[in-house]
Structure 1
Amino acid sequence: MRYWTIAGVLLLLSAQVHAGEPLKGWLEWVHEVEMRVVENGVVDDVLVATGQHVKAGDLLLRMDQREAKALLLEARARVARARVAGEKAQRELARAEELFSRGLIAVEELKDAELAQVAAVAEEEAAKAAEESRSVALERTELRAPFDGIIVARHVWKGAVIYKTLQQEPLIVIAPDDQMLARALVTASVLRSFKPNQPVHVKVNGRVREGRVYSQGVQSVRVELEGAVYYLDIIFDAKPNELLRPSETVQILTP
């Protein structure tokens, strides 16, 4: 949240006295996603820089994967052994059923074969679950872009030792860059003149854009002698390959 001086707030409010005059505001990201790793380890590589545009699924950061890969291979070997044991137990059960039908073994021996087959199936399922868990752990050694966006901040470099319980700040911060917010500080009376999703025009870099009311403040940002002020957010689409930055000044054209 950005804090404004009293003089600045009063200047904004004075500009909003006359209906129809544009509101002075600034740009903000629609939202930011703070990305951290969930396992301890050493950073093997960081593939992005601040200000870089990325696509959904792009690799942003990779931890050292050697241990995770070894544990996954071990889990897969356990699955293979369990599958072999299960097939053997199934064959022994089929043989026991045949011998029992011919009256050559007692019912207890048939039950033992059935229990062995059930145990083998359970072991194979447990092995598969362990393999899936190790596969997820390997995936967690990488950070990938959750959506198309821009790298807002990078706080990590190759070789850094990461402890999941000691990450006081995110390793990478990403924000969507296909939309932006035009934000203004307004009085309650001005806020009431806008409706949710109402079409609103925003003037950015001398060009008028079509937007809509995204959110209207419920709690005041602060209370001044002249009254409380609230956030009014207008969302609009950014142009392809256009670089807009938070805190750039804009005008919101009032109804």
Structure 2
Amino acid sequence: MMQRGLIALFLLLSVAEARALVELKGWLEWVQEVEMRVLENGVVDEVAVSAGQHVKKGDLLLRMDQREARANVLEARARLARARVEGEQAQRELIRSQELFDRGLIAIEELKDAELKQIAAVAEEEAAKAVEASRAVALEHTELLAPFDGIVVARHVWNGAVIYKTLQQKPLIVIAPDDRMLARALVTANVLRGVKPGQPAKVTINGTAREGQVYSLGVQSVRVELEGAVYYLDIVFERRNGELLRPSETVQILLP
């Protein structure tokens, strides 16, 4: 009798545990998407990637025609070099004027003029440095580089396209990190109340389960159904090496 009682208790606990688990159907999403746009007007010289291509941080995605930007950098460098020469000359004139003033050969007004010229030369050199830095930034803006390791989600530009920075309705390139993915499900408010961010969860893809955790809980409802409002519930998990996952693939989510 005692053995039967223990077996019955075990079965009751197993049933209770099974009932505590929440099984959900969901789909895959990127953790985030970054829309890439250029910051300068110009003509596209090279698009180095295609949709579905994996990239490393710093890889070239797109390059605009750089001839004008490079010419502006060279002009700024020449201005800076000229300003440095004039600054050195003004410094020498100031030293010479100070020596002549100390010997009583020139008036104080001439020494003050030399000081003002040296100050103006220093200011001109600093302004030339600022122009060179600005032109260098403008040159950098003619390229789009991958901000992180990831995958090219979309490409909306081709070689020879004329781009105006104020008229870019679509992003030129969309990139997403693919080392992690989201499993997203629609749930009711009652389910959300029993879930906490960081809580462990399991995601099953093509019959293979992997560990994940609750990433975010929906705040605003997606829509309202007969059963009530439904919200997004996101589970994040690591992508395995060599694994090819795409958004909208169906998955199973298990919450303890």
In the superposition, the TM-score normalised over structure 2's length comes to 0.91
Partner of residue 199, structure 2: 198
* TM-superposition CA deviations, 1:192-219 (whole Å, max 9, x none): 1111111111112221111111100011
Which residue is 2:7 aligned to?
none
* 1:170-249 correspondence runs (5 A): 170-249=171-250
Aligned: 1:132 with 2:133 = yes
Matched, 1:45 2:35: no
Distance in 1 (CA, whole Å) between partners of 2:129 and 2:22 is 65
Deviates more, 1:186-195 or 1:199-208: 199-208
Unaligned runs of 5+ in 1: 1-17
Q: CA RMSD in A?
A: 0.9
Q: Structure 2 unaligned runs (5+)?
A: 1-18
Secondary structure of the structure 2 residue equivalent to 1:22: strand
- How many correspondences in the alignment? 238
Aligned partner of 2:92 in structure 1 is 91
Cα deviation, 1:32-65, whole Å, max 9, x if unaligned, reads: 0000111110000111010000000000100000
Q: How much identity, in percent, do the aligned residues show?
A: 78
Is the 2:200–2:255 Cα contact (8 Å) retained in structure 1? no
Instruction: Tell me how far apart the structure 2 counterparts of residues 193 and 50 of structure 1 sit (CA, whole Å).
Output: 39
Question: Which of structure 1's runs of 4+ aligned residues deviate more than 2 A?
Answer: none
| Amino acid paired to 1:106 | A
State the match for 2:5 in structure 1: none
- Matches of 1:21 and 1:71, distance apart in 2: 62
> Which residue number corresponds to residue 4 of structure 2?
none
Aligned partners of 2:148, 2:106: CA distance in 1, in Å?
A: 64
**SS across alignment from 1:165:** coil
Which structure has the larger Rg?
Answer: 2
Q: What is residue 101 of structure 2 aligned with on the other side?
A: 100
Task: After TM superposition, give the deviation of residue 104 of structure 1 in Å.
Answer: 1.1
Q: 1:65 & 1:176 partners in 2: Cα distance?
A: 29
Query: How far off is 1:19 after superposition?
Result: 4.2
Q: In the aligned structure 2, how far is the partner of 1:95 from the partner of 1:240? A: 71
TM-fit CA distance, 1:21: 4.0
Counterpart amino acid of residue 99 in structure 2: E
Q: TM-score, normalised by structure 1?
A: 0.92
**Aligned counterparts of 2:144 and 2:46: Cα–Cα separation in 1:** 11
CA distance in 2, matches of 1:41, 1:244: 36
Whole-angstrom CA distance in 1 between matches of 2:100 and 2:207: 90
Q: Deviations over 1:126-178 (max 9, x none)?
A: 00100000000000000000000000000000011111111110000000010
Within 1, Cα distance between the matches of 2:194 and 2:90? 75
CA distance in 1 between counterparts of 2:150 and 2:29 reads: 14
DSSP-derived class of the 2:166 partner: helix
Counterpart CA distance in 1 for 2:106 and 2:22 is: 96
Residues 90-142 of structure 1 show CA distances to partners (whole Å, capped at 9, x for unaligned) of 00001111111111111111111111001000000000100000000000000
| Cα separation, 1, equivalents of 2:71 and 2:242 | 42
